[in-house]
């Protein structure tokens, strides 16, 4: 795409300033254009001095607006020195530069996660109005076009949050509108699939036609184009000193993810989260380019999923009628996620981790659907109270699961990824109840477990129209160790043990596909002590964002690693502190999975994460700070 700076309205100035002094502004235009030309030719640009368009824009703004009172005058301004923003006292209003603008132009701390391909950003900006236009130049299907239009509306919504603080644009200086042309050449299906190409390219340049910034977004799928919208939104920010929306005026971004599966697990069984919390979590995932919401919907404590096929499970297992997710709720969450390039994977853990939701079988003439429900003392029968395991020999159990699987696939529209659970089955429960183990204290129950998992797999095949999902996942367990590996080839393993585990290396060596969820450093619930009577925490110390970023999601054999997933189990987290537990740590994980950086969390990473955290807060995500505000205002002095 041609990067032309000619034929601009208002003397061709980079900031489209009003023509007050022709000679002065013409000189500024020449300097601004020269800086941009140097940048794209690869010649050195002095980034220690802000480009004239910012300073002139500030001066003009100050001239045409009402003088500020002493109380309202900014206390600080930021100066770019050696590509670092330095805070200094604001002695006068003429050359004030805000921290967001300084970070964008001096440190280029704007895009998270960092693109994996070509990245070129100019150090000049243009002021924007809120007139955004979408043109779909190429689309492979009507459904993709509809999704693009809705995703563009979400892009507008994110930026419209700044309207609450922006003043009405002054008519004495020009502001630019934004024209976005999107081209999708490839996948007709807007859904995220395992083989979806999520790459995208962005070209930004001022138009020859007037006060318009033209953006071209090219992708091979809807999901790629949606990621392009997200990156584009990060090139735009609100400048509090000018009360204006600003945008980097020229950019080239070529980007694609390093891993196909970039997940976040939320457990809604231990504690219930309102639908609004889940939707907000998905919004933050999209801002960080995570693509899989793993919904651990049910567990021993509660079964809040109210499905038509098995309404008794929620009736007996939910905390109450106000703590359930209806089919409409699920569809709302799925639609919300799909427009953001995210799949929803609902896990119904089995045969372990079940509770009173399954305690109605005898009343209905179906026999025992589960054993050991709320047995005491609990620590003899399960890892945490209350206990319960499905009856692996009751055929009604498999029929119920098949109906659940059918409904989940129908609701989510995800038929190529599924999670069967398969976590933490204890032997004691089954040895006391299975006929083959009665009066045999040393009876091994692993064969019953293996048999059940394979029957559940067959039930899933039938639920999915005769074909099992390409990525059918189970948790790592005794069954994913030797000698059971040879019977488990069709499964992908979500591996939660330590990174240096010999079991993981064995799985990779045997060709198993893995999704990595190491308890350290990817369990975000760790570090809050024990809530159980044994007094021990189940997963150790608090995981810092640096721990996540500095521990690479790769091993010597990365061929079979599909991706990774950070997990938030909810024994000690609820709606009041959800956002702070997830973000910005989840964002650090997002860059690890998208960019796959080999470097540690250095100064630049910390600054960019702080900027992204501020962006999340501006969008309504209650992300926790990574250091005191003083450190944000004095970049690099706390690093």
pLDDT at 174: 65
- Beta-carbon contacts of 64 under 8 Å, excluding residues fewer than 6 positions away, are 170, 172, 173
Task: Using alpha carbons only, give the angle 120, 124, 130 rounded to the nearest 5 degrees.
Answer: 100
Given phi > 0 = left and psi -120 to 50 = alpha, else beta, which region is 312?
Answer: alpha
Q: Is 565 a catalytic residue?
A: no
Residue closest to 552 by CA, chosen among 520, 607, 504, 592 = 592
Cα distances from 596 to residues 22, 117, 405, 553, in angstroms, run 49, 12, 33, 8
What 3 state SS string does 507-520 have?
Answer: HHHCCCCEEECCHH
398, 344 contact by CB (below 8 A): no
Q: pTM of the entire structure?
A: 0.90
492, 475 contact by CB (below 8 A): no
Q: Is 353 a catalytic residue?
A: yes
Q: From the candidates 187, 211, 299, 525, give the one annotated as an active-site residue.
A: 299
Tell me the average confidence (pLDDT) per consecutive run of 10 residues in the chain, 639 residues long: 29 29 36 36 39 60 53 83 88 78 86 96 90 96 98 95 62 77 96 97 91 96 98 95 90 96 98 98 98 98 96 96 97 98 98 96 97 94 93 97 98 98 91 87 85 96 97 94 78 89 87 92 89 66 93 67 96 96 98 86 90 95 96 88
Q: Which domains does the chain have, with CATH numbers?
A: 22-255 (3.30.379.10), 261-598 (3.20.20.80)
pLDDT at 254: 98
Q: From the candidates 368, 424, 446, 503, give the one annotated as an active-site residue.
A: 424
3 state DSSP class of 201: strand
First-last CA distance in the chain:
39
147, 286 contact by CB (below 8 A): no
Side-by-side strand order, sheet with 176-184: 119-121, 251-255, 200-206, 212-219, 176-184, 125-138, 244-248, 236-239
Q: Is the Cα dihedral 218, 220, 225, 230 positive or negative? A: negative
DSSP 56-124: HHHHHHHHHSPPPPTTTS-SEEEEEETTEEEEEE---STT---HHHHHHHHS----SSPPSS-EEE-S-
Tell me: the pLDDT tens digits for 50-67? 666 666 656 555 554 555
Q: Is 424 a catalytic residue?
A: yes
Give the number of residues written for the chain.
Answer: 639
pLDDT at 37: 32
User: Beta-strand (E) ranges in 427-547?
Assistant: 471-475, 492-495, 514-516
What dihedral do alpha carbons 487, 492, 497, 502 form, nearest 10°?
60
Q: From the candidates 353, 419, 433, 518, give the one annotated as an active-site residue.
A: 353
| CA–CA dist 79, 96 (Å, integer) | 9
| CA–CA dist 161, 401 (Å, integer) | 44
């Amino acid at each position: 795409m041609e990067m032309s700076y000619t034929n601009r309205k208002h003397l061709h100035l980079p900031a489209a300033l009003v023509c007050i002094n022709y000679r002065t502004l013409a000189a500024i235009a020449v300097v601004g254009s020269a800086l941009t030309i140097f940048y794209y030719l690869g010649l050195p640009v002095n980034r220690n001095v802000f480009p004239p368009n910012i300073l002139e824009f500030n001066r003009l703004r100050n001239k045409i607006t009402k003088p500020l009172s002493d109380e309202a005058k900014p206390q600080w301004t930021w100066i770019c020195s050696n590509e670092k923003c330095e805070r200094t006292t604001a002695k006068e209003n003429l050359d004030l530069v805000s921290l967001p603008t300084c970070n964008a132009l001096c440190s280029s701390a704007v895009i998270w996660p960092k693109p994996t391909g070509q990245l070129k950003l100019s150090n000049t900006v243009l002021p924007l109005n809120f007139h955004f236009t979408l043109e779909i130049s190429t689309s492979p299907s009507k459904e993709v076009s509809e999704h693009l239009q809705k995703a563009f509306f979400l892009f507008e919504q994110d930026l419209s949050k700044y309207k609450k603080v922006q003043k009405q644009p002054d008519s004495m200086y020009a502001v630019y509108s934004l024209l976005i042309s999107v081209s999708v050449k490839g996948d007709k299906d807007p859904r995220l699939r395992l083989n979806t190409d999520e790459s995208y390219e962005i070209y930004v340049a001022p138009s020859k036609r007037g006060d318009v910034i033209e953006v071209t977004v090219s992708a091979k799928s809807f999901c790629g184009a949606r990621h392009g919208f997200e990156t584009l939104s990060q090139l735009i920010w609100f400048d509090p000193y000018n009360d204006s929306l600003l945008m980097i005026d020229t950019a080239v971004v070529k980007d694609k993810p390093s891993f196909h599966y970039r997940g976040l697990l939320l457990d809604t069984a231990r504690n219930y989260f309102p639908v609004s919390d889940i939707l907000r979590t998905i919004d933050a995932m999209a801002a960080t380019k995570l693509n899989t919401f793993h919904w651990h919907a049910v567990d021993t404590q509660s079964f809040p999923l109210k499905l038509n096929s098995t309404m008794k499970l929620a009736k007996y297992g939910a905390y109450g009628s106000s703590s359930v997710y209806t089919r409409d709720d699920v569809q709302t969450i799925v639609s919300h996620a799909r427009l953001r390039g995210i799949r929803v994977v609902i896990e119904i853990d089995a045969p372990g981790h079940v509770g009173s939701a399954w305690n109605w079988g005898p009343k209905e003439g179906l026999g025992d659907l589960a054993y050991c429900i709320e047995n005491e003392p609990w620590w003899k029968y399960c890892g945490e109270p209350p206990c319960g395991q499905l009856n692996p020999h009751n055929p009604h159990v498999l029929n119920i699961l098949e109906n659940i699987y059918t409904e989940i696939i129908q609701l989510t529209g995800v038929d190529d990824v599924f999670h069967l659970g398969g976590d933490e089955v204890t032997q004691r429960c089954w040895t006391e109840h299975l006929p083959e183990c009665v009066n045999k204290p040393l009876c091994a129950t692993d064969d019953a477990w293996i048999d059940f998992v394979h029957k559940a797999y067959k039930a899933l095949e039938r639920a999915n129209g005769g074909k099992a999902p390409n990525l059918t996942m189970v948790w790592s367990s005794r069954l994913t160790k030797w000698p059971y590996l040879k019977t488990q080839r069709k499964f992908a393993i979500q591996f939660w043990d330590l990174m240096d585990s010999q079991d993981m290396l064995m799985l990779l060596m045997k060709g198993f596909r893995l999704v990595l969820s190491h308890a350290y450093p990817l369990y975000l619930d760790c570090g809050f002590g024990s809530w159980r009577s044994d007094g021990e925490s189940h997963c150790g110390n608090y995981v810092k964002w640096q721990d996540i970023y500095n521990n690479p999601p790769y091993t010597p054999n990365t061929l079979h690693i599909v991706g990774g997933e950070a997990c938030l189990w909810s024994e000690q987290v609820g709606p009041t502190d959800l956002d702070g537990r997830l973000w910005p740590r989840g964002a650090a994980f997002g860059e690890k999975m998208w960019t796959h950086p080999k470097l540690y969390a250095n100064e630049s990473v910390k600054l960019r994460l702080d900027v992204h955290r501020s962006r999340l807060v501006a969008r309504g995500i209650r992300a926790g700070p990574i250091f005191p505000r003083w450190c944000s205002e004095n970049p690099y002095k706390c690093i």
